[in-house]
Amino acid sequence: MADRDSQPIMSRRKMLTALGMAGAFMSLGASGASGSSVMQAVYGDGEGGCPPCGGYAESVEELRTIAPECEGRLIYLEGYYADSPGIGGGILVSVQGASADDGGSVFQSAKPGLFWKRGSDRLVLEDFGVVRGDDASYAAHNAERIAAAFQTTEYAISATPQMTYVYDGDVTIATAHLLDCRKAVFKGITGCIRIASAGCVVHSPVLDDSLRSDDKRAMLVEADHVQIRYAEFRGNGHQECCLEITGSNVSVSDSRLRDASYMILATTGRGTHITGNYFTGGNTKAVLSANRMAATTIPWGDAIKLSSDTNDLGNPNAPGRHDNIITNNIFEDVYRDCVDLFTDGSRTIFSHNVVRNHHWNILDIKCIYRDVPANGTSVDPSRREEAVIAYGNIIKDVDNPYSNGESLFSVVHYKNPESGGKVSDYTLGPNKVSIYGNVIDGVFGYVFRALDSFDVSYYDNAHYNLINNAVYITGESGTRHIDVDRNKFVYANGKDYWGNPLQVVRRTSANCTGGSVSHNRFVCYKKDGFRGAVAAVVMGSRMTANGNTGEGFDIVIDAARGTHLACDGTQAHDCKIAVRVGQYGSTTGVRVSRTYAVSCIQVVAVHTANTAKLIMVDNDGVDITGTAFTDVSSLASTIVKNNNTL
């Protein structure tokens, strides 16, 4: 028996090779998984034939220099690079056929016709030469290798969980069905992750823009039917967007997005679904100014922008975005709009979202059509925002800039800094818009604002802790069929601030026509003995103001001027005046009926002589005290069954 000390000592490298080969034999079903076969794997057969072991290689570079004698030989790769043993290594087997060296799953050997192929069917990015860590000197190389890894369709490719990869330049994903990112962090310097593979599922990437030097986007989805799930976009407050979508039927769910001009920018395509995400912040570092040419420090940042691009606008067969669903998201401390429906946001549903500590509009339905962004030229009048629905949302503490006329829900063909102008015609404005069933607590500024609109409904919403004007509807160039019904408006500040909960206003050039302000409840809890101002100012043509209730206001319904206004069933408690008629101009064909008042100074107060066809029926009282008139009969064509006519 030979002396043990005379036997050669097994090196660490050969020990690793032996252990790796033994595991490989077992996993591949080889018959020789015994101790003797391990020794054969380390030292070779030496008896002729084709030994199972091809040895070892320190790196991919060395692997490509090794020529297997035949198909089926195994080799142990210590690492992708010689200076990083254990990273990107593994067991490979020699195969014959029409393979191609992809730099990760298959490598050309030194023998023509034979390749080294990885034995595992699950690979990570390091197996394709992607360098992990924060070293930016590998960034351009990583961009190429990440794209190569996800080009492979024969293997399940994933990132190493929570590992960091720096890249520079576009990473185009052209064929992958799944990007399994496992919360790995991708730090872009320039360029973005471009998803060009239809139906691809992008699962749990982290896009960190702390190294970014451009102002574009972290990810671009340009294919159809792509799903973005459990992603995290760490914007740093200067880029144009976190995620840009140009494909159709793209979904973004259960993701976190922050700090960009537009956290999601959907510029073309149809059917974007945005559900279960968290949005916060905006763009504060190098924000582009109104003409998009220079930087400014004015806070900017929409959570979502739905917009048609200039090519889409020039295409008469592309009527706009369709069937967008935005639901179950959280918007917290977002600087500007939650959703900016800029050019063509048709058939968009905004429901069951939570909005907290917001600073601007929640839904900005602009309806601006343009083919040249520099001058705002409008095109195709038939392409309007339509069928926008917002319901079931919870909104808490919004400080929108009242001086700019912004509102939580803005339904308006409105001048925008980027557009240079607007078309003043209600027929071109938003239409078929419904906003209902929302709970709003704590707002400074307008809650709902509609200009140049048609067929808009605002109903069954509850408002608490209001401070300023709540609902503002104008006939600046015409609004038609705007209904504000069954809402609750609760003020807690009296005249610490000023404002009217609801204003339907006729401008000199046109009327609000055919609208309804009915069955609303207005409450102002007096502070220091002061009441609120006017609950509802109604001016226009063929308006109805029925069944409204007011408490703690100077005036509940102010039928200020207009034609053919029906004001029925108003109830007032602890107010000065229940219904006032004709304060700001002439009224024609106004009917005031069934007004009921408790603890009010006046019930129906008439303030102008120009009240043709004024009818007052079944009111608690009609009062002209304080006016220049001595006989109410001279003001009205019909006065019947009213109490205390003065």
| Residue pLDDT, tens place only, 451-500 | 777 788 999 999 998 877 778 776 555 677 888 999 998 887 654 444 56
- The pLDDT > 90 percentage for the chain reads 40
For 489-532, the pLDDT digits (tens) are 888 765 444 456 666 654 444 467 888 999 999 998 766 667 77
Quote the pLDDT of residue 501. 63
For 160-195, the pLDDT digits (tens) are 999 999 999 999 999 999 999 999 999 999 999 999
Mean local confidence (pLDDT), 29-50: 41
The confidence band for 53, taking pLDDT boundaries of 50, 70 and 90, is low
For 421-457, the pLDDT digits (tens) are 444 556 666 778 899 999 999 887 788 887 777 788 9
Mean local confidence (pLDDT), 38-60: 60
CB distance 255 to 235 below 8 Å: no
Quote the pLDDT of residue 378. 45
Quote the pLDDT of residue 284. 72
Q: Answer with the residue of higher pLDDT: 326 or 364.
A: 326
Q: Could you tell me how far CA 487 lies from the centroid of its own chain?
A: 27
| Number of other CB atoms surrounding residue 297 within 10 Å | 10
Quote the pLDDT of residue 466. 81
pLDDT beyond 80 at 386? no
pLDDT beyond 70 at 634? no
pLDDT beyond 50 at 307? yes
The confidence band for 604, taking pLDDT boundaries of 50, 70 and 90, is confident
pLDDT beyond 70 at 586? yes
pLDDT beyond 70 at 141? yes
Element (H, E) at 39: helix 35-43
Q: Answer with the residue of higher pLDDT: 411 or 172.
A: 172
Q: Answer with the residue of higher pLDDT: 227 or 401.
A: 227
Q: Could you tell me how far CA 381 lies from the centroid of its own chain?
A: 27
CA distance 32 to 475: 89
pLDDT beyond 80 at 18? no
Quote the pLDDT of residue 404. 58
CA distance 86 to 351: 50
CA distance 563 to 12: 97
Quote the pLDDT of residue 375. 43
For 269-290, the pLDDT digits (tens) are 678 999 999 999 887 765 554 4
The confidence band for 419, taking pLDDT boundaries of 50, 70 and 90, is very low
Lowest mean pLDDT among 96-110, 143-157, 354-368: 354-368
pLDDT, mean over the chain: 78
Give DSSP secondary structure letters for 61-94: HHHTT---SSTT-EEEE--SSTTSTTSS-EEEEE
Token pair 């101790």 is found at: 35
For 322-355, the pLDDT digits (tens) are 578 999 999 999 988 899 886 555 678 999 999 9
| Number of other CB atoms surrounding residue 71 within 10 Å | 14
